[in-house]
Structure 1
Amino acid sequence: MAPHTDDGTVTDARYERITAGPPEVSDAFLRDVLREGFGLDPVTLRPLAGETDRNTHVVDGAGAEYVLKVTGPAERRAAEFQTALLGHLAGQDLGFAVPEVVLDRSGAPSRDVDGLLVRLLTYVPGRPLAEVPRRSAELLADIGAVAGRLGAATGTFAAAEPPPAHYWEFAHAGTALGASLPHVGDPGLRAAAGLIQARYLPLLDERLGALPVAVVHHDLNAFNLLVRRDGSRTRVSGVIDFGDAAPAPRIADLAVLASSAMRGADRPLAVAAALTAAYHAACPLTEAEIDLLFPLIAVRSAAVAATTARLAAGRLHGDPRHRSSAAAGLVRTLADVPAEVGAAAVRQACGLPPHAATAAAAAWLAGHAGQATAPVAGRLGPLDLAITGDCYDGADPREPDELRAAAREAVLHHGDGTPVGRYGEPRFLVPARRGADVTLGIDLFAATDTPVLASLAGRVEAVGAAGTDLILLHEPAEGVRFRTLYTGLTTVPAPGTDVPAGGRLGEVAADARDGLPPRVRIQVTAVPVADGAATSWTAVPREAPGDEQELWRALFPDPTPLLGDQDAVTAWTPAGDGALAKRHRHLPNSHPTYFSRPITMVRARNCRFYDEHGRSYLDALNNVTLVGHSHPRLVEAAARQLGRLNTNTRFVYDVLSEYAERLTATLPDGLDVVYFVNSGSEANDLALRMSRYLTKREDVVIIDDAYHGYTSVVADVSPSRYRHYGKPDTTHPTPNPDRYRGRYGYDDPQAGAHYAAHVTETFDRLAAEGRAPAAFLFEALLAGGGQVVLPPGYLAPIFQTAARHGAMTIADEVQVGFGRLGEAFWGFETQDVVPDFVTMGKAMGNGFPVAAMVTTREISQAFDPAGRFFSTYGGNPVACAVGLELLNVVEEENLQDNALRTGQYLRDVLAALAPRHEIIGDVRGQGFYSGVEFVLDRETKEPASEETLIICERLKDRGALVYPTGPAWNILKLKPPLTFTPAHADEFAAALDAVLEEGW
């Protein structure tokens, strides 16, 4: 241990480099040195942080930037070493910037002035990585790759005389911790750092000297890595501060980097794994280096936190970065991570088996199930407690108490022998955005006092403190050594007892953990779990977080073979991959899915989806479920009607008449004849067919970029469809009235009239050519066109012109009807017009297929000579019952008003992000139909199409669902259920803010 004074100062001469502090010099001294030594006339001097050098940012009259470094005698040798290293790096193509040495007037790389060493380096611009709290996976990969490339480059540098020993060298970690731990005032932090010291310093003493040695940066922390934003991407642009460079174990740089980058991270092990994988790809590591990496990370973190406390106690000089509390938080986290888990994380990142002994045990078990004795007598049956379990039907997936009660009932009424909870199952008891916790064992739900038998012969290695748990050690074959862990027993044998296969281990305890019936849990691992440290029996996890399951399952493999030679119970496996394969096999290639990694959805309620892993997602895109997913009243209405009658409309039933009456009551007078169909495409198809029949014309005027459906007729009037095969001569698109990108902007109060003029001119031109149009087909808010709100005054002159030319008007309300726009129940009402036809679908049945076209009695009768109209399933009793109840819910829950108020609130909180994120070009919308347009440049408005897709993927990973739209696919389409709340809006905005902050 290094001698130290009461104020915390380390007095050991070996650490004079850190305790001496930077030299004290005046600005006049600096200016004289720059003028006389380097021929520079400085305009500004700005102090920079420095632990041993006096660092100054210099700007000269031409705007050139430099860093002037003034070094004291104790640091001279290190400074000369650094200068030589920078010279070595200057000749290499690193892909990022490092400081370059500026020669003085005599051509020398440094100058001696009044006993001080003066050097001038080029200034490397950029933002310290420490100022980027949210880091994307791509940025982490870039950081690790940069570190690897730097390590490969510095590793080829050889100097005759290395610098003296430094406080931060891993070889002196024991001394550094010993000197600093007494000054840690926080008992919890001191205990955590002490545990790391006791656990890992012996490993460093044993193995560090055998690792490959090379020159390393040695202080590759988040303050010395610089990043720059290239458009919407954040990447490493430079590395600075080579003052601590020295020969050391080559892995030191990665350990320093990881301990810095992991601070404050939600998942520090994932950060370590990402950095390690990228570093290893650029600069391959040996297995010995990989195995010591996690201990080095932990020791470095503890040393930083303890040294921070020592410096604060002594009020010593030092870089203010050391005062961060993030280091202390990381130390507590790392102390709680079992050593094998940390090692497994980085081994796995490098493509190595996470734990070789456990892998061998898993392989042996998988091939020897026939040798195992079933732990309980009688038949075993699988119990589905994953989100797919039937037991949860009817339970609200947002309510853990309901889920737990449903699971308990499933156990008690299983009826298929002893219920067995499966290994690897994401238990749907507490939904989480990261996924339900995954079981790391099997659960046998047996009655209290049921005898439990040893599946394999073994020796009792340890017994839990409460006497209800035990560990059996097995060595069934040469090179195979593992443990079975039994939890939830009574009257267990003593440690050291040899138990034969089928021998009695105890009885099922009465303890009903987690509100579920009694059970015994069995786990398998080769990891030592009874050494008395943090890896002790009490720290063994029963479940793993869903997003970390791969790592934990490698340490606690499948124990199902311990059930014996049976095939009723198997480990849980996700269905998504198989379902996707079958989908690709049987559906057309053009049938899309959301996201590059599609989600396998299982349940939904209100504004949340739940996938097969139990992850919850905020639904901000699904305008189909108008009143929220699985609304209980609609579920009950559908089930009730389905149990009574479901037939076609050629029969008479009251619910059809009642629904038609209620539906037309929401529309302007005169629109009172309903044609029930199954989809919005059919409704638009029928409206066009009637328009053409009645006018005896074929041409149709539309708005460019609109979408009206998939049938042949409506695809021909949907630019997003016909652009793939050519625009029909009878279709006439007019300019998209987009006030963000179009000719007439938000600043034009007559934008509506100006855009309308293009439509009226089209009508007049066609009429002059003798081909007056049959209809004008429009969306009241352009969805596929980019969430474009029709400007005020747009539709009225178009309707007047259409009437003058005898053309019919069709309002496509499939996307925006039923109160979604807030201001009115139907979108066209916001423009004070009444169309000839109103088409509707999607939200009409809250996910149940129902659609309609409504027109006047006069128009309907004029179409009657065309023949009977009949849609087999259109207007069926179940569809009508659901549609009728939906109207009741919208009215009684005041959802149209919520769309108005909360929709505006959502846009307000999203618009508030724009000053911080240049990629946001525009936020627009009405009610609960909004769009956020992303651009690479606000002046040119170049669409950020690729970035928008990435943003949607990242939002999905954060539990918020939205997807791109618009001609360039650079607009988020936000169309959540009308039950969306301000809290949901805040949640979505926070997720978007985080995604945009981390970049990609």
Structure 2
Amino acid sequence: MNHDIRSPLTPPAMGDQSVPPHTDDRTVTEDGGAADARFERITAGVPEVTDAFMRDVLRDVYGLGAAALRPLAGETDRNTHVVDDAGAEYVLKITTVAERRAAEFQAALLGHLADRRLGFAVPRVVRSRSGEAATVVDGLLVRLLTWVPGTPLAEAPRRSPELLADVGAAAGRLAEAMATFAHPEPPDPHYWEFAHSGAALAGSVPHVRDPDLRAALGRIQARHLPVLDERLGGLPVAVVHHDLNAFNVLTGRDGPWRRVSGVIDFGDAAAAPRIADLAVLASSAMRGADRPLGVAAALTAAYHGARPLGEDEIDLLFPLIAVRSALVAATTARLDAGRRHGDPRHRSAAAADLVRLLSGIPAEVGTAALRRACGLPAHPATAPAAAWLAGGAASATAPVEGPLGAVDLGVTGECFDGADPREPDSLRAAARAGILAHRPGVPVARYGEPRFLAPRKRGEGGGDIELGLDVFAPAGTPVRAPLAGRVDGAGVAGTDLVLWHEPSDGVRFGTLYTGLSTDLAPGEEVTAGAPIGRVSSDTGDGLPPRVRIQATAVPVAAWTAVPHRAPDHEREMWRELFPDPTPLLGEQDAVTAWTPTADRALRGRHEHLPESHPTYFSRPIAMVRARDCRFYDERGRSYLDALNNVTLVGHSHPRLVEVANRQLGRLNTNTRFVYDVLSEYAERLTATLPDGLDVVYFVNSGSEANDLALRMSRYLTKREDVVIIDDAYHGYTSVVADVSPSRYRHYGKPDTTHPTPVPDRYRGLYGYDDPDAGARYAGHVIETFDRLAAEGRPPAAYLFEALLAGGGQVVLPPGYLAPVFAAASRHGALTIADEVQVGFGRLGEAFWGFQTQGADIVPDFVTMGKAIGNGFPMAAMVTTREISRAFDPAGRFFSTYGGNPVACAVGLELLNIVEDEGLQHNALVTGEYLRERLAALADRHELIGDVRGQGFYSGVEFVRDRETKEPASEETLIICERLKDRGALVYPTGPAWNILKLKPPLTFTPAHADEFAAALDAVLEEGW
């Protein structure tokens, strides 16, 4: 078959006409000769000229003095970057006179585009002093174009969804603008046109030495060239750029955003199928991408939004992408084999890797992704089949005898309670036990379910969904046909039987069975309910025997394998290709397809919770489980927790779970009863504090602890004023909200609250370079004490965090607290150390944050919460016996749930775990390592203004300008969203919300630190 499809050499006036059927009946051999001639054109090399010659041309032809010349890549043109004496930039193009027609065509095209509003720059033709677009000098053709600044898309190591959308839209706008261009003398056909790809591949594939690559190229030739031969001639045609690859699309910064700034190199422009540019662009941008098909879909969606595509174009786009990718890889091998000239930018291993990948993607799958990107069904036949299946239960016979019941193998499944989600073997064993223990009826695992058998990190595509349902039954159990059908005559890898059904006019689909022993012959007719085989015994995956049932309307006979599951991020496409087969179980309601709960849960929150109640992220996560430093959402996806300082020793620590369960089963009451665990815990807790701090008030939250400390301070001093650090947060009760700037700013600062400057050495009055910064910041606190005393209202208390959390992860400078404490003592003010966020060894250097300022710093009150119970609702305030006795006349203190037996048992065991596992030391060492990794990123990412912290409490501050320190607030939120999408959880903090707050469990390891740093690096490289 002749695969040399040709587009007309003369373009139509408008781009909506179709390419007429080609009538060239030359054989492949003859066309191969033409293709070889075109190949010789791209490998002939560029003219060799001297710098002196180019300077003379610039002076004599264009009247320019050349201050600098720099060579650029080129296939047929000698391209040179020129900076003239005035600093203006150009591209000088020198080629043979044989390229005159192409040069004139290009000049006319650029003139046409110059008047269009594209939203990006294109080169402009600089005419000679005599007004010519191209001039012959010494037998060479000379042209000059304006320089278009920008960074090639190919040199952006990662591309954000927003950038890809902008690239696709820019390509669509360019196509729209070029559609109205026509020229009486089009250029000669060239090597890279899709019309000649068959002959070009035939001439290049024999030079490929890598057998795997050669096999992949062969698959693409066999699968896609016949389709192009049949359908390419019917596509709309227009003048296209024809080399819209990632090197010719330029990007630049628009504020914090990276967007398309220009398109260059129109040297291959010609009349061709209008879709050619998008195919070229996609095949180039897909190279090296984590999800190449997703890149193609994103580009296609944006292109379609700017320049709507016809369904015939969309259906041929994936074959064109595959063929273009194959042509680039094969031509590269041919150039290397012959040591010929060629553009070195395309000689990338990624091109060959993409060919290997594309050769394994069925055409229906690739096309489905692009159809869905344009708002079309994944396959024309899927909708009728899915609609019939959705209502076809009454027509179906259950595949096995007996009642059916759903077994939950998703992350919510009870069978996984107690299993370690980090260990696939543990999960598989739990699933097997759950299946075998299932009662009543035959267990069925649901369609669409993200099985919780081997969860992967969110950034690695975890959460694959099932494309069928599994009926678990003993080996040898008879299996029946749910519907009348015919046995497919073609075997499909990965399945044991395929039946095709036509239950009504216009509806045709197949049912696929895996795990089935059958003797049915191809072409055999089967009636509904008739036996089709028996459940086989060999599963090979540790789960009990089962038969898997899938449904599809897509012809799969030619596929190398039928997938049993699909990536969650592609779920909608795959659910169309393999619709829900649950109705094939017959009329029963015990089994339904898996559905997510996130939307329902959010609706419930919105209905019953305050509107001001926040959630993390613009697209919240429905969490189900957590273990150590990882969360698991309802889809089984894993997220690294760098955010949650509540779970000090890691989520669901087995020792804490055991202790809580044991104590809950023994006794749980209130502290007015006597039980040993209360006194034992109080003794252990106070032993971690300086001598004298030995009376514990057990409460339920850090807010209550701070509230109580302030109440006692005011009672004992008979004063009302409180000195704080600005931007701090101390809780939500009325009392502590009045001393929390982030709260009282919404209703006005109370007159009794006195904020002092944040001791921020990055943004504050005294920086990292000031060795006396601590004392200088303390001076402002002391001035406040003195001023209040002079006004006759000395403060009741000084309330502080040892590291400001809500204030922006600000580390107190050395020498800050000592003079403040001395001044407080002089004025009779009590000191309150708010350790709710930073206590229990989190800062590494000491068990309590205030201790990092020196051994002589001893507060009057220490408040604690959050980490004290690893998520169990408990808190405490500790003070001296003297202060406690002085407060006793105020009345009895009692908290119903504070200090209950379960809380004390959990708190006691937490102290044991911190000590036994050396977690305070880990916070010191690994916390420093994490900041080193993050600080190293600042050398490559200007957005990072500062990295600071202590132990496992760190902050990364983002700024738009390192000189002005303008907060990058919007960018920080986007970074957090992108980190979440890569499987790492962190969130903004600080007054401007431009600081990442990093406060992971103390079990965070160096490997976790590397994982987080790599994710952040990738997000910052990606841009947006």
Superposition TM-score tier, normalisation by shorter sequence: over 0.9
Q: Which residue is equivalent to 2:1017?
A: 993
CA deviations over 1:862-917 (Å, ceiling 9, x no partner): 00000000000000000000000000000010100000000000000000000100
1:568 is aligned with what amino acid? Answer: A
Asked if 1:522 corresponds to 2:549, the answer is yes
User: Equivalent residue for 2:782?
Assistant: 760
2:504 to 477, 492, 503: 477
For residues 15-54 of structure 1, the C-alpha deviation after alignment (integer angstroms, 9 at most, x for no partner) is 5532433222222211111110000110111111100111
Q: Does 1:314 align with 2:341?
A: no
Deviations 1:250-302 (A, max 9, x none): 00000000000000111111000000000000111111100100000000000
CA change 1:15–1:309 in 2 (3 A) is closer
Which whole-Å CA distance do the structure 2 matches of 1:742 and 1:28 have between them? 57
Which residue matches 1:486? 513
Contact 2:481 2:527 in 1 (8 A): yes
The match for 1:218 is 242
| Counterpart residue identity of residue 678, structure 1 | N
Matched, 1:689 2:673: no
Conservation of the 8 A alpha-carbon contact between 2:44 and 2:341: no
1:290 alignment counterpart: 314
2:47 equivalent in structure 1? 23
| Deviation string, structure 1 residues 625-645 (Cα, Å, up to 9, x no partner) | 000000000000100000000
**Structure 2 CA distance, aligned partners of 1:467 and 1:998?**
37
Distance 1:227 1:277 in 2: 19
Partner Cα distance (2:97, 2:221) in 1? 33
Deviation at 1:312, TM superposition (A): 0.5
Structure 2 counterpart of 1:352, from 376, 379, 386: 376
1:667-714 CA distance string (max 9 Å, x none)? 000000000000000000000000000000100000000000000000
Equivalent residue, structure 2, for 1:453: 480
CA contact (8 A) 2:406 2:444 kept: yes
2:181 matches 1:148 = no
Deviates more, 1:38-47 or 1:650-659: 38-47
Question: CA 1:974–1:279 in 2, change beyond 3 Å: closer, same or farther?
Answer: same
Give the one of 589, 602, 613 matched to 1:567: 589
Task: Please list every run of 5 or more consecutive structure 2 residues that lacks an aligned counterpart in the other structure.
Answer: 5-26
Q: Answer whether contact 2:46 2:75 (CA < 8 A) is retained.
A: yes
Alpha-carbon distance between aligned partners in 2 of 1:58 and 1:407, rounded to the nearest angstrom: 68
The letter of the residue matching 2:83 is: V
The farther-off stretch of 864-873 and 466-475 is 466-475
Matches of 2:428 and 2:637, distance apart in 1: 17
**What is the Cα deviation at residue 411 of structure 1?**
1.0
What is the TM-score of this pair, normalised by structure 1? Answer: 0.98
Q: After superposition, what is the alpha-carbon deviation per residue over 1:378-416, rounded to whole angstroms, capped at 9, x for unaligned? A: 100001000100000000000000000000011111122
Q: Is the aligned partner of 1:972 residue 2:996? A: yes
Conserved? CA contact 1:648–1:876, under 8 Å: yes
Q: Write the distance in 2 (CA, Å) between the matches of 1:496 and 1:364.
A: 24
How many Å apart are 1:738 and its aligned residue?
0.3
Q: 1:273 aligns with which of 292, 297, 302?
A: 297
Correspondences of 1:623-634 after superposition (within 5 Å): 623-634=645-656
The residue correspondences of 1:133-282 to structure 2 (distance < 5 A) are 133-282=157-306
Q: Deviations over 1:148-170 (max 9, x none)?
A: 11111111111111100010000
The residue type equivalent to 2:729 in the other structure is: Y
Question: Would you say 1:942 and 2:969 are equivalent positions?
Answer: no
| Distance (whole Å) between structure 2 residues aligned to residue 46 and residue 654 of structure 1 | 82
Q: Contact 1:47 / 1:55 at 8 angstroms: preserved in 2?
A: yes
Counterpart residue number, 1:49: 73
1:485 maps to a residue whose letter is L
**1:349 offset after TM fit, Å?**
0.2
Matched residue count: 993
Structure 1 position 469, deviation (Å)? 0.6
Q: Identity rate of aligned residues, in percent?
A: 80
- Evaluate the alpha carbon distance shift between residue 468 and residue 16 of structure 1 in structure 2; reply closer, same or farther with a 3 A threshold: closer
- Equivalent residue, structure 2, for 1:963: 987
Aligned partner of 1:775 in structure 2 is 797
Task: State the TM-score, normalizing by the size of structure 2.
Answer: 0.96
Distance 1:19 1:727 in 2: 76
- 1: CA distance between counterparts of 2:62 and 2:253? 32
Distance apart, 1:13 and its partner CA: 3.5
Does residue 676 of structure 2 align to residue 673 of structure 1? no
Give the stretch that moved more between structures: 459-468 or 964-973. 459-468
Once residues 635 and 318 of structure 1 are traced to their aligned partners in structure 2, the CA distance between those partners, rounded to angstroms, is 65
8 A contact 1:483–1:526 mirrored in 2 = yes
2:448 counterpart (400, 406, 424) = 424
Once residues 463 and 844 of structure 1 are traced to their aligned partners in structure 2, the CA distance between those partners, rounded to angstroms, is: 64
Change in Cα spacing, 1:9 to 1:287, as seen in structure 2 (3 Å) is closer
Alpha-carbon contact 1:17-1:75 (below 8 Å) kept: no
The amino acid of 1:504's aligned partner reads P
1:429–1:436 contact (8 Å) kept in structure 2: no
User: 2: CA distance between counterparts of 1:462 and 1:922?
Assistant: 66
**SS of 2:957 mapped into structure 1:** strand
Structure 1's unaligned 5+ residue stretches are none
Match of 2:90 among 63, 66, 71: 66
For the Cα contact (< 8 Å) 1:141–1:274, is it kept in 2? Answer: yes
Alpha-carbon shift at residue 14 of structure 1 (Å): 4.6
Rounded to whole Å, the distance in 2 between the matches of 1:848 and 1:562 is 46
CA contact (8 A) 1:467 1:492 kept: no
After the TM superposition, which segments of 4 or more aligned residues of structure 1 sit over 4 Å from their partners? 1-5, 8-11, 463-468
| Structure 1 residue corresponding to 2:760, chosen from 738, 745, 760 | 738
Residues 1:915 and 2:939 aligned together: yes
**Is the 8 Å Cα contact of residues 843 and 923 (structure 2) preserved in structure 1?**
yes
Q: Which residue in 1 is equivalent to 2:16?
A: none
| Cα pair distance change 1:11/1:168, threshold 3 Å | closer
1:857 matches 2:884 = no
Please state how far the C-alpha of 1:248 moved relative to its aligned partner: 0.6
Give 1:144's aligned amino acid.
G
CA deviation string 1:900-944 (max 9, x = no partner):
000000000000000100000000000000000000000000000
User: 2:350 aligned with 1:331, yes or no?
Assistant: no
Q: Deviations over 1:801-859 (max 9, x none)?
A: 11111110000000000000000000011112100000000000000011000000000
Deviation of 1:554 (Å): 1.2
Matched-pair contact (CA < 8 Å) for 2:43–2:342: no
> Partners in 1 of 2:43 and 2:649 — Cα distance?
67
Shift of 1:588: 0.3
**Which shows bigger deviation, 315-324 or 935-944?**
315-324
| Residue of 882, 894, 914 corresponding to 2:918 | 894
| Separation in 2, partners of 1:320, 1:467 | 41
What SS does the corresponding residue of 1:633 show, helix, strand or coil?
helix
Q: How does 1:368-383 map to 2 (within 5 A)?
A: 368-383=392-407
Amino acid at match of 1:53: D
Query: How far apart are the structure 2 equivalents of 1:459 and 1:12?
Result: 49
Q: Which residue of 2 aligns with 1:597?
A: 619
Structure 1 position 705 matched with structure 2 position 727 = yes
Structure 2 CA distance for aligned equivalents of residues 203 and 90 of structure 1:
37
Flag the 1:550–1:693 CA change in 2: closer, same or farther, 3 A: same
Q: What secondary structure sits across from 2:903 in the alignment?
A: helix
Of the three residues 967, 970, 982, the one matched with 2:1006 is 982
Aligned-partner residue type, residue 822 of structure 1: G
The residue type paired with residue 370 of structure 1 is A
Is the contact made by 1:469 and 1:492 (CA closer than 8 Å) also made in structure 2? no
Task: Please tell me whether the aligned partners of residues 17 and 74 of structure 1 are also in contact (alpha carbons under 8 angstroms).
Answer: no
Task: Specify the alignment match of 2:137 in structure 1.
Answer: 113
Distance across 2 between alignment mates of 1:468 and 1:906? 48
Residue aligned with 1:150, SS: helix
Q: What is the rounded CA distance, in whole Å, between the counterparts of 1:939 and 1:600 in structure 2?
A: 40
Cα deviation, 1:721-747, whole Å, max 9, x if unaligned, reads 000000000000000000000000000
What letter matches 1:222 in structure 2? A
CA distance in 2, matches of 1:80, 1:465: 54
CA displacement 1:125-148 (0-9 Å, x = unmatched)? 111111112111111101101111
C-alpha RMSD of matched pairs (Å) = 1.4
Q: What secondary structure, in the 3-state scheme, does the structure 2 residue paired with 1:301 have? A: helix
Instruction: Tell me the alpha carbon deviations over residues 634-668 of structure 1, each in whole angstroms, 9 at most, x when there is no partner.
Output: 00010000000000000000000000000000000
Contact 1:775 1:808 in 2 (8 A): yes
